[in-house]
Amino acid sequence: MTGSAAITAMAAHGVTRATVPWKAEQSVVTINGARLAMSMIGPADGIPLIVLHGGRGFGTHDGVFATYAPLAGRYRVIGFDMRGHGRSEDVAPFTFAQMVADIETIRQTLCGGRRIVLLGGSFGGMIALTYAVVHPDALLALILRGTAPSWHHEAGALASFRARAARAPMATEGMLEKLFTPTIESDEEFRLIMFALAPMYAEDPKTLDYDKILLHTAKTRYNARVHNDLFADHSYDVVGRLSSIHCPTLVFCGAEDWICPPDQSRLIADRIPGATLEIIVDSNHGVPGTVALQHVSRFLNDRLPKP
């Protein structure tokens, strides 16, 4: 594994040596017995900013790393494929607790035990929230994009799907149920479900490029076992512990987020003392990278001012 995918993603996001005067470093690092694909950019003494990808069972860090690589300088941006995802090794267990343990080991071994800024979206946001309630004193700041504090968001996602079903004519409620349960039968079934649901994530359903969706779906690694294991213990719920998070926190999401509806971000922001909430108009689940970077940069400049 060369890590070239992260560099390709950076170029696709317009991130070059001309815009970011740091060279991205790609490596494979053994963390708690699993070899994890990792990318880093920025000075070794920069504030550690760990970015977590979404996509339970199929995500990679390439996109989120490329989005926030321009923060390199004051920050050392670190992204990695969680175990069982992307180019990282399939080493069980695949649980929220293990993902949190992996982040803590990265903080201790690669960040010198320093406090970190932790950023995650969607599934990555759920892992970030779980880390935050377990290790609140390890955080300088917490940034959450389009996520939820419990599994109860699934009811809102189903309602959104029913309201927008015409966008994804191949998708069914049965497929969505499989997406939220440990019942996907194979990697290929997983791939087909995500291909059918892909139009639900589009920012503008009128400009869907099905050829691009097909190419992306064909290239993505889907791991049904990892997905199923992460849904096997359907008890994720940190709502009652959010008040223990005391670091500066930004919560933002698209106003049209279908799978983690805005009421979930409002709930998080209401329960975390002093949290900042931003609802991005005309945005779906993903929030365009340039928009996300703008909001995150402003938040960090305001809440973590330079000495």
> Residue 3 — very low, low, confident or very high, per pLDDT cuts 50/70/90?
very low
> Residue 11 — very low, low, confident or very high, per pLDDT cuts 50/70/90?
very low
Percent of the chain scored above 70 by pLDDT? 93
- Distance separating alpha carbons of residues 220 and 284, to the nearest angstrom: 21
> Residue 204 — very low, low, confident or very high, per pLDDT cuts 50/70/90?
confident
- Distance separating alpha carbons of residues 203 and 23, to the nearest angstrom: 31
64, amino acid identity? V
pLDDT for the residue 7: 47
| Residue 8, pLDDT above cutoff 70 | no
Q: Which of 57, 51, 63 is nearest to 6 (CA)?
A: 63
- Distance separating alpha carbons of residues 143 and 118, to the nearest angstrom: 6
> Residue 233 — very low, low, confident or very high, per pLDDT cuts 50/70/90?
confident
Question: Structure pTM?
Answer: 0.93
Q: Which of 299, 301, 245 is nearest to 273 (CA)?
A: 245
The mean predicted confidence, pLDDT, of the chain is 93
Q: What is the mean pLDDT of residues 150-167?
A: 96
pLDDT for the residue 203: 87
| Residue 18, pLDDT above cutoff 70 | no
* Cβ(253)–Cβ(118) below 8 Å: no
Q: What is the mean pLDDT of residues 223-240?
A: 96
Token pair, residue 252, equals 């933002």
Q: What is the mean pLDDT of residues 40-45?
A: 96
Token pair, residue 138, equals 């390890």
Higher pLDDT, 23 or 183: 183
- Distance separating alpha carbons of residues 97 and 82, to the nearest angstrom: 12
- Distance separating alpha carbons of residues 32 and 102, to the nearest angstrom: 7
Sorted by where each starts, the structural domains of the chain and their CATH numbers stand as 4-152+235-303 (3.40.50.1820), 155-231 (no CATH)
Pairing verdict, β 75-80 and 34-41? antiparallel
Ramachandran region of residue 200, left (φ > 0), alpha (ψ -120 to 50) or beta? alpha
Token pair, residue 158, equals 């189903």
Q: What is the DSSP string of the chain?
A: ---HHHHHHHHHTT--TTTS-S--EEEEEEETTEEEEEEEES-TTSEEEEEE---TTT--SHHHHHHHGGGBTTEEEEEEPPTTSTTS---S--SHHHHHHHHHHHHHHHSTT--EEEEEETHHHHHHHHHHHH-GGGEEEEEEES--SBTTHHHHHHHHHHHHGGG-TT--HHHHHHHTTT----HHHHHHHHHHHGGGG-S-GGG--HHHHHHHHHHS---HHHHHHHHHS---B-GGGGGG--S-EEEEEETT-SSS-HHHHHHHHHHSTT-EEEEETT--SS--HHHHHHHHHHHHHHHS---
Token pair, residue 169, equals 């004519």
- Distance separating alpha carbons of residues 22 and 4, to the nearest angstrom: 16
Percent of the chain scored above 90 by pLDDT? 89
What pLDDT digit, counting tens, does each position of 164-188 carry? 999 999 999 999 999 999 999 999 9
Give burial (CB, 10 Å; 0-12/13-18/19+) of 180. middle
- Distance separating alpha carbons of residues 50 and 71, to the nearest angstrom: 12
pLDDT for the residue 1: 37
| Residue 67, pLDDT above cutoff 50 | yes
- Distance separating alpha carbons of residues 197 and 211, to the nearest angstrom: 15
